[in-house]
Amino acid sequence: MNSQIQQITKTEWEIPIGFVPGMRVPGRFFLSENLAENIEDGALTQLANVATLPGIIRYSFGMPDIHWGYGFPIGGVAAFNAETGIISPGGVGFDINCGVRMITTPLHISDIPDMKGLIENLFDSVPTGVGSKSPLRLSQSNLSLMLEEGAKNAVDMGYGMESDIRRCEENGAMKGALPEHVSKKARQRGIPQCGTLGSGNHFLEVQVIDNIMDASAAKTFGVSEGQICVMIHCGSRGLGHQVCTDHLQILESATKKYGIELPDRQLACAPLSSPEGEAYFGAMAASANYAWANRQIITHIVRELFTKKFGISYEDMPLIYDVAHNVAKWEEHDVDGSRQTVCVHRKGATRAFGPGRVEIPQEYRACGQPVLIPGSMGTPSYLLAGTQGAMEKTFGSTCHGSGRVQSRSSAKRSQTGEEVAEALLKRGIIVRAPNPAAIAEEAPEVYKSSSEVVQTVHDAGISRIVARLRPLGVIKG
């Protein structure tokens, strides 16, 4: 690691102003000493580059799953002043509101004698992979409503329960969505894809809770050891990708128009109050709402399958929570002794609001927000709780997953999908994907240790571990 970087505590490190020209604030990132041994220099340079952006407040942050990305590093967080700050698609990512949700069931492992059969059923029921198409046939007016109403729109169409809505971050719909700034091409891509898992690192995983670390919080969240759960990880599909592509072109011009000097053109941005900035925010919010509806529809498909296969009731599979990890949002935070409304960019990072925040569902409020951290196909996932430490240190943010350490092409050269699937099967984990390459790209070895990443944020005090979930069967996109 560069000698200019200072270790502040056991888990906190600082990039000083001057690391790259034009930094307005330091960079601050969270790593265990073991994870620090393999940090990418490029990711730290990107973190420093973010610190040059106008209106940035306090620090440019990196979570323990930090790795090189487009503009911002993945695992990056930055808050911007409402009057002097900017909004940047590079701080959100192409998969707008890629996120995770978790539902519980009343089942235990002994209730599922044929896990392979269950995974095959799920693979047949949930549209998966590149080009997969939804069971829905949305009209343009239906899509516009979905872009405004998010998860509520899906529930209103019969895909879920009213209680699902309040257990989504932002109640499953960001305010300020402007569907008119979602292009015709983005809409065309979105109409056939809502209710589909997609490809890449997206997944649907059947898990068992194998360790409760915080009994009080687990009781509050309604989870118990031995319980079978389902975790769903996906985002806004082709619609969100197209929105990002469209507005990047606009914001590249806006960067020049407003005289913003950037160390990296991938940080293209515009003032939050500018027409270009407001148009991107509105289109991004609409895409985020589409993503919440997407996960809601997949949840409905899963519940219906479990109801039919195991004879359990639909209502006995509650949503624990749904969190976004690629989004920019207006939030209230304490800054320099006063409460301010700021725009927080989280790219590969999760909101982790501490106890008492009104944004958290009433039943969880005294405990802190549920935080979902998926592992890879062969490593544990975790349920965490947000903390006051996160509110004080990171604008209420924590990690989002494991973080890649190997490219997709390199992963495919290392081992075949068949070899990965066989190794997982020996450990009792069944994997199903549209093709072997999709499995090879997402082999557990290409990611950091989810357990070490989660332990780092726990030790740093920016979230606390509640429960560990072990994978039993997974569908990869």
User: If you write DSSP's letter for every residue of 120-174 in order, what string do you get?
Assistant: HHHHHHS--STT---S----HHHHHHHHHHTHHHHHHTTSS-HHHHHTBGGGG--
Specify the pLDDT at position 462.
98
Specify the pLDDT at position 165.
98
In the predicted model, what is the mean pLDDT of residues 65-91?
97
Among the residue ranges 156-170, 250-264, 276-290, 415-429, the one predicted with the least confidence is: 415-429
In the predicted model, what is the mean pLDDT of residues 100-105?
98
pLDDT at 265 over 80: yes
Burial of 348 (0-12, 13-18, 19+ CB in 10 A): buried
Q: What's the helix, strand, coil split of the chain in %, to 5? A: 40, 25, 40
Contact criterion met (CB below 8 Å) for 347 and 72: yes
**What is the per-residue pLDDT across 222-251, written as a single tens digit (0 to 9) for each?**
999 999 999 999 999 999 999 999 999 999
**What is the per-residue pLDDT across 118-137, written as a single tens digit (0 to 9) for each?**
999 999 999 988 877 887 88
pLDDT at 317 over 90: yes
**What is the per-residue pLDDT across 286-311, written as a single tens digit (0 to 9) for each?**
999 999 999 999 999 999 999 999 99
Q: How confident is the model at residue 271 (pLDDT cuts 50, 70, 90)?
A: very high
Q: Which domains does the chain have, with CATH numbers?
A: 6-90+100-405+447-476 (3.90.1860.10)
Share of the chain above pLDDT 70, in %: 100
Q: How confident is the model at residue 27 (pLDDT cuts 50, 70, 90)?
A: very high
Specify the pLDDT at position 301.
97
Report the alpha-carbon distance of residue 227 to residue 237 in Å, rounded.
30
Specify the pLDDT at position 200.
84
Between the alpha carbon of residue 109 and those of residues 203, 209, 227, 228, 470, the distances in Å are 20, 10, 8, 7, 11
Specify the pLDDT at position 445.
80
- pTM here is 0.96
Specify the pLDDT at position 29.
98
Specify the pLDDT at position 38.
87
Q: How confident is the model at residue 409 (pLDDT cuts 50, 70, 90)?
A: confident
Name residue 382's beta-bridge partners.
Answer: 373, 468
Contact criterion met (CB below 8 Å) for 293 and 194: yes
pLDDT at 410 over 80: no
CA dihedral over 376, 378, 384, 389, signed as positive or negative? negative
pLDDT at 407 over 90: no
Share of the chain above pLDDT 90, in %: 89
**What is the per-residue pLDDT across 412-464, written as a single tens digit (0 to 9) for each?**
778 898 999 999 999 999 999 999 988 998 887 878 789 999 999 999 999 99
Specify the pLDDT at position 315.
98
pLDDT at 209 over 80: yes
pLDDT at 316 over 90: yes
Specify the pLDDT at position 56.
98
Specify the pLDDT at position 412.
72
Closest of 46, 41, 47, 40 to residue 14, by C-alpha: 47
- H or E element at residue 440: helix 436-440
Q: How confident is the model at residue 156 (pLDDT cuts 50, 70, 90)?
A: very high
Q: Which residue numbers are catalytic?
A: 400
Contact criterion met (CB below 8 Å) for 310 and 107: yes
DSSP for 249-293, written as a single string: HHHHHHHHHTT---SSGGG--EETTSHHHHHHHHHHHHHHHHHHH
